[in-house]
């Protein structure tokens, strides 16, 4: 990647942020972007106040970075990838402009076949991308007690699905949090408020890059380079 490409990429992110600010709605109107988090208990503020959950903390951090984005909680505790697949039409009724797919943890906890999870994630991304909705896929890892073979097969699903649909992948949603008692609730599975903060710290750069690469239609119009007219 050349220095010029890096410079242009940085300028593009800045322009997207400015565009979202300029497109900020009046009070009571919709935000410039609506990011739905289709997930399980990790996305549904399980055991936490709503303000401490992942959607709320991500929205707050994006706002601090200059993004006018509403982050919608579309998580259901206990949902497997099959449950998320069954809720896609319900999700679309909420008219999201972007979707983060965070599923797979309960598939692993139930030791469900990774090939079933792959079919479900593939169907979810197929439906969302058919609607022209940018998707960010969040990966998951299986618990070590399920064995190395299952773990490797499970982990391989996420990059394979992301590559197939040409969407960005955040490799491990619980990166830096899983297994740390100081960042999890008493069950050792669900992040505490501090754990969610750490998750947002980790995923935020990926989300910002994603928004820059796939802005809302209105922001995209501001990013179009004007036609150069020469004599």
User: Active-site positions?
Assistant: 41, 187, 190
205: its two tokens = 């750069």
Task: Classify each residue of 52-75 as buried b or exposed e, where b means 16 or more C-beta atoms within 10 Å of its C-beta.
Answer: bbbbbbbbebbeeeebbbbbbbbb
**Rounded distance, CA 177 to CA 166, Å?**
27
- What SS3 class is residue 184? strand
CB 3: neighbour CB atoms within 10 A?
7
Contact between 117 and 84 (Cβ < 8 Å) = no
- For strands 169-170 and 69-75, give the pairing: unpaired
Say if residues 81 and 154 touch (Cβ distance below 8 Å): no
């Amino acid at each position: 990647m050349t220095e010029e490409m890096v410079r242009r990429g940085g300028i593009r992110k800045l322009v997207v942020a400015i565009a979202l600010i300029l497109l900020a709605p009046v009070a009571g109107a919709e935000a410039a972007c609506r990011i739905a988090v289709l997930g399980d208990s990790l996305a549904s503020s399980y055991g936490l106040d709503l303000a401490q959950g992942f959607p709320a903390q991500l929205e707050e951090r994006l706002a601090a970075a200059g993004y006018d984005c509403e982050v919608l909680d579309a998580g259901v505790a206990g949902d497997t990838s099959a449950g998320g697949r069954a809720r896609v039409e319900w999700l679309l009724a909420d008219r999201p402009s972007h979707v983060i797919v965070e599923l797979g943890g309960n598939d692993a906890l139930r030791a469900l076949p990774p090939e079933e999870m792959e079919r479900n994630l593939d169907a979810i991304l197929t439906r969302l991308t058919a609607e022209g909705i940018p998707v960010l896929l969040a990966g998951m890892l299986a618990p070590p007690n399920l064995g190395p073979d299952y773990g490797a097969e499970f982990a391989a699903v996420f990059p394979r699905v992301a590559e197939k649909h040409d969407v960005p992948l955040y490799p491990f949603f619980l990166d830096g949090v899983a297994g740390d008692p100081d960042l999890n609730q008493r069950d050792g599975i669900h992040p505490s408020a501090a754990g969610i903060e750490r998750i947002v710290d980790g995923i935020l750069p990926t989300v910002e890059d994603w928004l820059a690469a796939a802005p809302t239609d209105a922001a995209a119009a501001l990013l179009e380079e004007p036609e150069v007219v020469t004599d």
